[in-house]
Amino acid sequence: MAKDEVSASAVGAPMKRREDVRFLTGKGSYTDDMNRPGQSYVVFLRSSVAHGVIRTLDVEAAKASEGVLAVYTHRDIEADGLGGVPCGWEITQSDGSKMVEPAHPILASGKVRHVGDPVVAVIAETKAQARDAAEKITLEIDALPAVVDMRSAETAGAAVHDEAPNNVCYDWDFGDKEKTEAGFAQAAHVTTLEFTNNRLIANAMEPRACIGEHDAAGDRYTLITTSQNPHVIRLLMGAFVLNIPEHRLRVLAPDVGGGFGSKIYHYAEEALVTWASKKVGRPVKWTADRSESFISDAHGRDHVTKAELAMDAEGKFLALRADTMANMGSYLSTFAPCVPTWLHATLLAGQYTTPAIHCRVRAMFTNTVPVDAYRGAGRPEATYLLERIINKAAAELGLDQAEIRRRNFIRPDQFPYETPVALTYDTGDYLATLARVMTMADYAGFEARRQEAAGRGKLRGLGLSCYIEACGIAPSSLVGALGARAGLYEAATVRVNPTGSVSVFTGSHSHGQGHETTFAQVVADQLGIPADSIEIVHGDTDRIAFGMGTYGSRSLAVGGSAIVGAIEKIVAKAKRIAAHLMEASVDDIVFEDGQFKVAGTDKAKAFAEVSLAAYVPHQYPIEELEPGLEETSFYDPKNFTYPAGSYLCEVEVDPDTGVIDIVGMWAADDFGKVINPMIVEGQVHGGLAQGLGQAFIEQCVYDANGQLPSGSYMDYAMPRADDLPSFAVETDLVGTPCTHNPLGVKGCGEAGAIGSPPALVNAVVDALKPYGVQHMDMPLTPQKVWTAIDAATPKMAAE
């Protein structure tokens, strides 16, 4: 290929995204853009109360309403013997017993457990008719006391589920308790921090939607859905809910408008439309209104934690103890139980050599929407815990926030490093990322900036955060031992077509990440062919052998590694074909620059000559070598990957209003090898916006009755363009490649959302240092900041 073609698509080049043209011209194909012949529409009548017993449910008027095809309640689901929505992870409690795992019915059965719990499905010719008919349903609910605040859930006197009378799903602990206590016994100083990690709503811009269709001729179902992992949906829904074997169930996840975790899970609506499509004999489409998304998409975070850090007199960490309460909501969503446990407690070493760590987690049921993984999932909570308590400790000890971290970093010569919480970090250079971000942000010049701002009556603060995450989920045998009900490898098929173009079928799913571009770069690099001759196919269980999907920053590290595995098989086979064509020994064939060459000679066959010979040969050693050039590979990661970085956030607080102006956000990340720096930086930008959103404006609010006042974009503060600054992001300066996957990549999708919340809070607490403020819970709204300043002001005046 021409040189400029190579450089445009080379690994490490900021190749422009090939998916962009369709999105920029309105030709994207999202689920709600699709319409099937004869399609009908379903609207769900959902509970308007948080907790109660269904006293009256009369759907006769709805059934008689214009255009209505069917009205279904739990009774119809039960009559057909359908299962409930399954959970994919089981936690074993500290006492050895299993977590409480209540049934999660597709439509509420007898009781409703959160505002938004679906009760009735109305199917009609048009969405408007279905909505009109739903209005005619009589649904009377005898309200029960709602369990809303998890801190008092154990003694609330009401049970979300009868099988969990105290609303405890599990009580779990991890780490060496005795060693941790011994660390505290030796401590010269102990810092304590109690905080909440605020509840968030993912809010992918595309609301969830799905279309179920049944082909009566072949008794075959198709589900088109807004999913990050169509194969997982096929497995969960087919095997556990609808009892449809894989060969009769196709799940498609076409263009998907963002996920951030909320589109991982199998949702009741997917099962309902699939099941109902056969019952009514018509395709059934559901598209959530945004208001409906707020009360039916899984929420995120929502931890209450007490943490204690034991240190010696020099600020060296001796032990860390954490006691966390995590909200599960009303039912267990697909991954929910593992988020506050295995994705949280195992990250509590952070970038540091803390020798002893112990963490207890109690997961609580409440009458709120189920909570599950949201961008980062457990790792932001762990990072926030560490990076906040470290700054509080630094302030108490009079140490610089960078210096206390330097004293405790795992040093570059200590890798591989085994933490006391089960992980083995393969590689990293935390001193380098810290040094880099301090240069980027002109750390040394901060005091001058603080003084300059003070002259204008503004309070300036600088906050540091050094995160690590475990990505590339996950080594299957390990997660199996931890309670995952499925291994978490990834699959890829590479098909070399007869004339040399290549189709790659990946189990990863792109919903904004740009896989069609990045994966093509990887394949172009490995095969030495132009990226234009490579297509990346994802999101279709009929075309792709298998897959576990995209979440946990796993696509390139796990899915990309599977592609490399398939390519290795392709090259090995193609070499044998080339050896036959050139009458050479296979051992003498080398593959370089897209050519198969006989070493030491000028004999060569182009890639496309070999591929053609693989499919339509005249003379072929068919006894020894099967024609065709298509290979599938499954990749099971040997370890997690450990991206890490250092973030600095600089704020200016207006003491008269409490308004925070984010004046600088710097990120130095080590993602290992970077395939497409443009895309990687974009991932960090998006993560930063979500992390900063959590830190200063976003908050999912339930009132005491379990109503959701923050149930629309009028009330839930999504970060807007004018809330955020430009970001300074560097991702390729300090890379330590991953040592255990073939691409050396670590994953970049969640970093920004993990590292930035504590950076911002640390910055604001730093700015409010003159007022004696030691901590504030997120989000740091102007009201909260102003109140903190106001409360401290009389005290200051008196001093």
Decide if residue 619 touches other proteins (CB under 8 A): no
Q: Token pair of 430, please?
A: 């935390």
Residues in the chain: 799
Could you give the count of Cα atoms lying within 13 Å of 406 in the half-sphere of its Cβ? Answer: 11
Decide if residue 516 touches other proteins (CB under 8 A): no
Residue list 263-302, contact with other proteins (CB under 8 A): 289-291
Decide if residue 696 touches other proteins (CB under 8 A): no
| Binds other proteins by CB under 8 A, chosen from 207, 549, 658, 747 | 207
Per-position b or e across 366-375, b if 16+ CB within 10 A of its CB: bbbbbbbbbb
β-strands 534-537, 502-506 pairing: parallel
| Binds other proteins by CB under 8 A, chosen from 261, 461, 512, 664 | 512
Question: What contacts 503, CB < 8 A, 6 or more positions away?
Answer: 494, 495, 497, 534, 535, 537
- Min separation Cβ 43 and other proteins, Å: 13
Q: How far apart are CA 383 and CA 646, in angstroms?
A: 12
- Min separation Cβ 206 and other proteins, Å: 4
- Min separation Cβ 712 and other proteins, Å: 5
- Measured from the CB atom, is 720 or 795 closer to other proteins? 720
Q: Which of 582, 585, 604 is nearest to 595 (CA)?
A: 604
Residue list 135-154, contact with other proteins (CB under 8 A): none
Decide if residue 75 touches other proteins (CB under 8 A): no
Q: Which of 149, 159, 155, 170 is nearest to 362 (CA)?
A: 170
Q: How far apart are CA 373 and CA 375, in angstroms?
A: 7
| Binds other proteins by CB under 8 A, chosen from 217, 313, 622, 714 | 714
Residue whose token pair is 């080590």: 670
Decide if residue 498 touches other proteins (CB under 8 A): no
Decide if residue 26 touches other proteins (CB under 8 A): yes
Q: How far apart are CA 193 and CA 195, in angstroms?
A: 6
| Binds other proteins by CB under 8 A, chosen from 721, 794, 797, 798 | 721
Q: Helices 751-767 and 677-696 meet at what angle, rounded to 10?
A: 40
Which SS3 state, helix, strand or coil, does residue 117 take? coil
Q: Helices 607-615 and 561-581 meet at what angle, rounded to 10?
A: 80
| Binds other proteins by CB under 8 A, chosen from 222, 690, 741, 762 | 690
| The one segment of 27-35, 599-607, 654-662, 761-769 that binds other proteins by CB under 8 A | 27-35
| Binds other proteins by CB under 8 A, chosen from 379, 511, 554, 575 | 511
| The one segment of 17-25, 180-188, 490-498, 769-777 that binds other proteins by CB under 8 A | 17-25
- Measured from the CB atom, is 17 or 344 closer to other proteins? 17
| Binds other proteins by CB under 8 A, chosen from 4, 79, 110, 205 | 205
**Percentages helix, strand, coil for the chain, rounded to the nearest 5?**
35, 25, 45
Decide if residue 688 touches other proteins (CB under 8 A): yes
Decide if residue 36 touches other proteins (CB under 8 A): no
| Binds other proteins by CB under 8 A, chosen from 52, 88, 105, 257 | 257
Residue list 545-574, contact with other proteins (CB under 8 A): none
Please answer whether residues 343 and 488 qualify as being in contact, where contact means their C-beta atoms are separated by less than 8 angstroms.
Answer: no
Please answer whether residues 336 and 369 qualify as being in contact, where contact means their C-beta atoms are separated by less than 8 angstroms.
Answer: no
Decide if residue 182 touches other proteins (CB under 8 A): no
| The one segment of 19-27, 236-244, 524-532, 601-609 that binds other proteins by CB under 8 A | 19-27
Decide if residue 80 touches other proteins (CB under 8 A): no
- Min separation Cβ 273 and other proteins, Å: 18
- Measured from the CB atom, is 2 or 721 closer to other proteins? 721
| The one segment of 21-29, 76-84, 521-529, 734-742 that binds other proteins by CB under 8 A | 21-29
| The one segment of 331-339, 396-404, 570-578, 710-718 that binds other proteins by CB under 8 A | 710-718
| Binds other proteins by CB under 8 A, chosen from 101, 213, 255, 670 | 255
Decide if residue 356 touches other proteins (CB under 8 A): no
CA distances from 244 to 196, 240, 278, 283, 542 (A): 42, 9, 12, 17, 14
Decide if residue 116 touches other proteins (CB under 8 A): no
| Binds other proteins by CB under 8 A, chosen from 8, 9, 30, 147 | 30
Decide if residue 115 touches other proteins (CB under 8 A): no
Q: How far apart are CA 262 and CA 277, in angstroms?
A: 24
Tell me the sheet residues that pair with 631: 494
| Binds other proteins by CB under 8 A, chosen from 84, 682, 742, 782 | 682
Determine whether 464 is exposed, middle or buried from the number of CB atoms within 10 Å of its CB (0-12, 13-18, 19+).
Answer: buried
- Measured from the CB atom, is 543 or 720 closer to other proteins? 720
Return the sign of the alpha-carbon dihedral for residues 266, 547, 560, 641: positive
- Min separation Cβ 685 and other proteins, Å: 4
| Binds other proteins by CB under 8 A, chosen from 2, 25, 55, 216 | 25
Size of site (CB under 8 A) for other proteins? 58
- Min separation Cβ 503 and other proteins, Å: 22
| Binds other proteins by CB under 8 A, chosen from 722, 797, 798, 799 | 722
Question: What contacts 408, CB < 8 A, 6 or more positions away?
Answer: 315, 316, 317, 351, 352, 353, 354
Tell me the sheet residues that pair with 364: 168, 327
| Binds other proteins by CB under 8 A, chosen from 7, 20, 64, 795 | 20
Site string for other proteins, 303-342 (x = CB under 8 A): ----------------------------------------
Please answer whether residues 562 and 492 qualify as being in contact, where contact means their C-beta atoms are separated by less than 8 angstroms.
Answer: yes
- Min separation Cβ 481 and other proteins, Å: 35
- Measured from the CB atom, is 173 or 723 closer to other proteins? 723
Region of 718 (left: φ > 0; alpha: ψ -120 to 50; beta: rest) is beta
Q: Helices 751-767 and 379-397 meet at what angle, rounded to 10?
A: 30
| Binds other proteins by CB under 8 A, chosen from 537, 718, 776, 792 | 718
- Min separation Cβ 713 and other proteins, Å: 4
| Binds other proteins by CB under 8 A, chosen from 6, 10, 13, 23 | 23
Q: How far apart are CA 377 and CA 345, in angstroms?
A: 12
Decide if residue 4 touches other proteins (CB under 8 A): no
- Min separation Cβ 360 and other proteins, Å: 34
Which SS3 state, helix, strand or coil, does residue 243 take? coil
Decide if residue 37 touches other proteins (CB under 8 A): no
Decide if residue 602 touches other proteins (CB under 8 A): no
Which SS3 state, helix, strand or coil, does residue 21 take? helix
135-139 CB contacts, 8 Å cutoff, 24+ apart: 136/61, 136/62, 136/65, 137/45, 137/57, 137/58, 137/59, 137/61, 137/62, 137/71, 138/56, 138/57, 138/58, 138/61, 139/45, 139/47, 139/54, 139/56, 139/57
Decide if residue 713 touches other proteins (CB under 8 A): yes
The vertex-626 CA angle with 622 and 631, nearest 5°, equals: 165
Question: What contacts 510, CB < 8 A, 6 or more positions away?
Answer: 19, 256, 516, 538, 539, 550, 555
- Min separation Cβ 554 and other proteins, Å: 17
The Cβ of residue 722 has, within 10 Å, a number of other Cβ atoms equal to 5
**Interacting residue ranges for other proteins, rule: CB under 8 A:** 14, 16-17, 19-30, 32-33, 35, 128, 203-207, 255-258, 260, 289-291, 511-514, 678-679, 681-682, 685-690, 712-714, 718-722, 724, 726-727, 752
